[in-house]
Structure 1
């Protein structure tokens, strides 16, 4: 007897689409806990089994992580990002640093060529936010602010393929930055990104690429084999 593909109900597909939209739009950011199953049932007006099927489908695709006793969390913004997270979870930290350097150097070079006044306004604001996060001493806030600045630099390249690839790799890169920064911020590890933003503002492609690629290469792997240690880390 030949195997046939089971058909998912149209209602379940609609719920999956709605939940995916919440994730991809940023309404449910990566790292956040989504509403509980009873809350989703009430909000969507569907049966518990339909909600459960939709959540499991998105977990299978790598967008959600179901943690027993804690809740369900957003771990990726697309199916490809979920695959990237699983594929590179145990990658060599030095290789991740080198990949980040290559992507960000090219993005910064293109940003210096193509940036708009709107891009510069955003980069300036995010640079200030990053500096304030560092001054606050909150490591998690700094990691988030640093990631936002780097994503804005890539977006300013106005290369849709590069921007999407960087977004899909985003949690891989952020997880290694989080491990590198650790639980507390160290003054000796701060990297000033003001020169990077200035190079993009001045449309200096060579200097922008150099600033973007400088920090990840001054690194080595720590004795535990998991952390990238740099003379100047901090993003």
Structure 2
């Protein structure tokens, strides 16, 4: 879908909005190179300086990555995701601690409140997650993993808990990507123990499983602060 031609007023802001829309709607996908500067100039009907300012702003926000000599690539789907992908140390710790708070309680409640339909869907997500990892489809893997954790929270039947968790979707996805690229966790987290506990309606075991890998991640951060 081609970008719409901009109006005369507020050109930079309009270009930023249209480029952000191309990213968030998936027209420009994460990891892909966006159209070249001349192509954007032609498509948008604006000058090179306007395009450059828009690209610079989106790169600063973390949505785009400019690679000298190679082009400009989509780095994240939102400012939050772009920021979290750069997180290290205490900031990443904050995300993981919030995840632990929400997801452990979500798992505890889901062990009692989940439906058979939700259980079937959780099983389907685990299988799809394994398939994505085996195929090295990393973006799909991260999305499925995030969907799995969110469905558990939804299955808690606590609407506020689910809304809070949904509001952190991009941060959660980014933290999943970071964890899966650390030597201590790469390929080792399968969540089948968590699924089994929820299936068995064992709340205590669900709490242990939901908090276990996040506690290990926090411990890893303690040992590798940089």
TM-score (norm 2): 0.68
Aligned-pair distance for 1:218?
Answer: 4.2
Would you identify which runs of 4 or more consecutive aligned residues in structure 1 move more than 4 Å? 90-100, 109-122, 198-207
Q: Does the CA-based 8 Å contact 2:107-2:210 persist in structure 1?
A: yes
RMSD of aligned residue pairs (Cα, Å): 3.8
Q: Does the CA-based 8 Å contact 1:111-1:154 persist in structure 2?
A: no
Aligned-pair distance for 1:170?
Answer: 2.9
Aligned-pair distance for 1:192?
Answer: 3.2
Q: Tell me the distance in 2 between the aligned counterparts of 1:111 and 1:18.
A: 40
TM-score (norm 1): 0.66
Q: Which residue of 1 aligns with 2:157?
A: none
Q: Tell me the distance in 2 between the aligned counterparts of 1:82 and 1:135.
A: 26
Count of residue pairs brought into register by the alignment? 210
**SS of match in other structure, 2:181:** helix
Moved more, 88-97 or 103-112: 88-97
144 and 122 in structure 1: CA distance in 2 versus 1, 3 angstrom threshold: farther
Q: Tell me the distance in 2 between the aligned counterparts of 1:149 and 1:205.
A: 23
Q: Which runs of 5+ in 2 are unaligned?
A: 1-7, 155-161
Q: Does the CA-based 8 Å contact 1:93-1:176 persist in structure 2?
A: no
Aligned-pair distance for 1:131?
Answer: 1.8
Instruction: Report 1:54-203 matches (<5 A).
Output: 54-86=54-86, 88-91=87-90, 100-109=99-108, 122-136=121-135, 138=136, 141=137, 143-156=138-151, 157-158=153-154, 159-180=162-183, 190-200=188-198
Q: Does the CA-based 8 Å contact 2:36-2:71 persist in structure 1?
A: yes
Q: Which residue of 2 aligns with 1:26?
A: 26
104 and 125 in structure 1: CA distance in 2 versus 1, 3 angstrom threshold: same
Q: Which runs of 5+ in 1 are unaligned?
A: 1-7, 228-235
Aligned-pair distance for 1:114?
Answer: 6.9
Q: Which residue of 1 aligns with 2:4?
A: none
Aligned-pair distance for 1:9?
Answer: 4.4
